[in-house]
C-alpha cells in the first residue's frame, strides 16, 4: 500500500469509533450495517452486474435518466445502485418501475456502499463483482477505487464536477487524489473548468472528456405533473412560492420573509421543503413557534384557505411541489452551503430565485444567468422585494419560465455522450470480467 493511502486508511481507522457511532444513529435498514462492511447478501440471479454509486437522494435524482437508460441498454444485466443514505436508498427503490412496461429492462437493486476501510472496500467489490463501476459526480473513495483497479474492473466517473471549494479541499490531499484518479479509466466532466481541476489533481487529461451536465437531460415526470396539478387545483387561486432544499439557519430567514410578504399578499402560501428528512420535525416546530398555521404534506392534508405554510415533509416530491408554485427559491444558497439543483424548478416551468452561495452549481447558474433565466438575491431583505415584484408581474414570470426551459432544451445531450463513453469502456473490458463473485 502506498504511503498516501496508508496514511488515509490509518486516519479513517482512528476515526472509526466516530464513523460507526454516526452510522449506528442513522435510521437505516438492518441490512445496512453489514453492507457498510462489505458483507453483501447474494443476488437473486447470476446476471452480470453494472454498479452505479450515488451519494444520496440529490445524486439519485440527477442520475435518474442514466439509471433508466442503463437498464434499457443492458436488459441482460442487473443494475446495482449504491448510496450512502437511507433517503437515497428510498429514492433508488422508487425507480424500480421507472421504465416503460413494454420494454425489456435490467432489474434494479440497491445496496449501501461500504465504508472506505480497506478490508470493507475489498469485500464489497469482490462480492459485488461488477463488469463496470460508475461513480456519480465527486464520489472519489480511494480504497473502493483501488479495489476496483486490483480486480481489473473498468471505472468511470460521470457527471464529474469539482466545485472551487471541493477542489481546494482535495488539493491538500493531492498525492492521495492522484493515486485514486489513476484508477479511473474514463471521466465525463460537466465543464472545461471541472476537467482542468481534475487534471490539476493528477487525472490524466487523455482520460477526460467534457460532455456537459446530465442534469439537463432530466425528463418531466408524469406522476409529478399529476401531483402538481391536483395540488394546485385543491389549493385554489392564491399566491404560492416554494422554498426547496432548505438548511439550518435558512428556514428561519425564509419564515421571516413569509411574514413580511403577508403584509402585501395576505393569502400568500409558502411551501417549505427542508433538504434533509431528519429535520422535518425541527422545521415543523420552527413554523409553529413562529405562529404560522402549518399543514404537513406527510399527513395527507391539503392546505386550507387559512394555511400559511405547507411543509413538504415527504420524500421524493420536491419536483411535484415546485410545479405548484408561481416561483421557486432554491435553498442552500442563503447560507454558505453552495446551492442545490437550479434546474428542477426550471424544468417544471417555474421561475428560479437563488441566494448568493452557488459554489456547487456555478456552471449551471452562469448558463441561466446568461439567458436571463435566474433571479439572484443577496439577502433576505432583497428576497422579499424580488418575490413581491415577481408575484405582481405575470409577464416577467412567463419570460423567466420560458428562458429557463430554453436553457434546458439547448444543453441536453450529456446523457447520450456519457452512454457512448460507458459503452466504449465496457467494450474494451470484455474478456476480463472477474466473474459473478459471491
State the catalytic residues.
Answer: 59
In angstroms, the first-to-last Cα distance of the chain is: 25
Residue 353, SS3 per DSSP: strand
Q: Report how far apart, in Å, the C-alpha atoms of 123 and of each of 12, 43, 181, 223, 437 are.
A: 17, 15, 21, 39, 10
Cell numbers linked to 190: 460537466
Closest CA to 255 of 95, 358, 428, 380: 380
- How many C-beta neighbours within 10 Å does residue 327 have? 23
Residue 186, SS3 per DSSP: strand
- Which strands sit side by side in the sheet containing 269-274, from one edge to the other? 294-296, 309-311, 269-274, 240-246, 327-330, 352-354, 374-376
Angle formed by the axes of helices 3-14 and 174-181, nearest 10°: 110
Distance separating alpha carbons of residues 383 and 230, to the nearest angstrom: 28
Closest CA to 353 of 325, 380, 387: 387
| 425 contacts 273 by C-beta, under 8 angstroms | no
Amino acid at each position: 500500500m502506498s504511503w498516501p493511502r496508508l496514511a488515509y486508511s490509518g486516519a479513517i481507522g482512528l476515526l472509526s469509533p466516530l464513523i460507526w457511532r454516526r452510522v449506528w444513529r442513522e435510521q437505516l435498514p438492518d441490512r445496512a450495517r453489514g453492507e457498510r462492511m462489505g458483507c453483501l447478501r447474494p443476488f437473486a440471479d447470476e446476471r452480470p452486474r453494472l454498479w452505479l454509486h450515488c451519494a444520496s437522494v440529490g445524486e439519485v435524482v440527477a442520475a435518474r435518466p442514466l439509471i433508466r437508460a442503463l437498464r434499457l441498454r443492458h436488459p441482460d444485466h442487473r443494475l446495482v445502485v449504491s448510496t450512502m443514505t437511507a433517503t437515497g436508498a428510498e429514492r433508488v427503490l422508487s425507480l424500480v418501475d421507472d421504465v416503460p412496461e413494454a420494454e425489456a429492462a435490467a432489474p434494479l437493486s440497491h445496496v449501501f456502499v461500504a465504508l472506505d476501510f480497506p478490508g470493507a472496500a475489498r469485500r464489497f467489490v469482490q462480492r459485488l463483482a461488477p463488469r463496470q463501476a460508475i461513480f456519480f459526480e465527486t464520489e472519489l473513495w480511494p480504497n473502493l477505487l483501488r479495489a476496483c483497479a486490483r480486480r481489473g474492473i473498468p471505472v468511470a466517473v460521470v457527471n464529474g464536477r469539482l466545485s472551487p471549494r471541493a477542489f481546494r479541499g482535495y488539493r491538500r490531499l493531492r498525492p492521495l487524489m492522484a493515486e485514486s484518479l489513476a484508477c479511473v479509466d474514463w471521466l465525463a466532466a460537466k465543464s472545461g473548468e471541472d476537467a482542468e481541476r481534475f487534471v490539476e489533481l493528477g487525472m490524466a487529461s487523455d482520460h477526460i472528456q467534457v460532455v456537459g451536465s446530465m442534469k439537463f437531460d432530466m425528463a418531466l415526470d408524469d406522476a409529478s405533473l399529476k401531483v402538481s396539478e391536483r395540488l394546485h387545483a385543491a389549493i385554489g387561486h392564491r399566491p404560492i412560492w416554494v422554498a426547496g432544499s432548505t438548511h439550518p439557519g435558512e428556514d428561519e430567514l425564509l419564515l421571516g420573509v413569509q411574514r413580511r410578504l403577508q403584509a402585501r399578499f395576505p393569502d400568500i402560501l409558502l411551501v417549505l421543503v427542508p433538504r434533509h428528512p431528519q429535520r422535518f420535525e425541527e422545521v415543523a416546530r420552527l413554523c409553529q413557534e413562529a405562529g404560522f398555521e402549518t399543514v404537513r404534506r406527510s399527513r395527507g392534508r391539503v392546505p386550507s384557505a387559512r394555511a400559511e405554510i405547507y411543509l413538504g415533509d415527504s420524500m421524493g416530491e420536491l419536483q411535484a411541489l415546485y410545479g405548484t408554485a408561481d416561483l421557486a427559491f432554491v435553498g442552500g444558497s442563503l447560507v454558505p452551503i453552495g446551492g442545490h439543483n437550479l434546474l428542477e424548478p426550471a424544468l417544471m416551468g417555474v421561475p428560479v430565485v437563488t441566494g448568493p452561495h452557488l459554489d456547487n452549481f456555478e456552471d449551471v447558474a452562469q448558463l441561466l444567468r446568461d439567458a436571463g433565466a435566474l433571479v439572484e438575491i443577496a439577502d433576505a431583505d432583497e428576497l422579499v422585494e424580488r418575490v413581491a415584484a415577481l408575484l405582481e408581474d405575470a409577464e416577467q414570470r412567463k419570460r423567466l419560465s420560458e428562458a429557463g426551459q430554453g436553457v434546458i432544451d439547448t444543453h441536453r445531450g450529456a446523457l447520450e455522450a456519457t452512454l457512448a463513453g460507458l459503452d466504449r469502456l465496457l467494450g474494451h473490458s470484455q474478456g476480463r470480467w472477474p466473474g459473478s463473485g459471491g
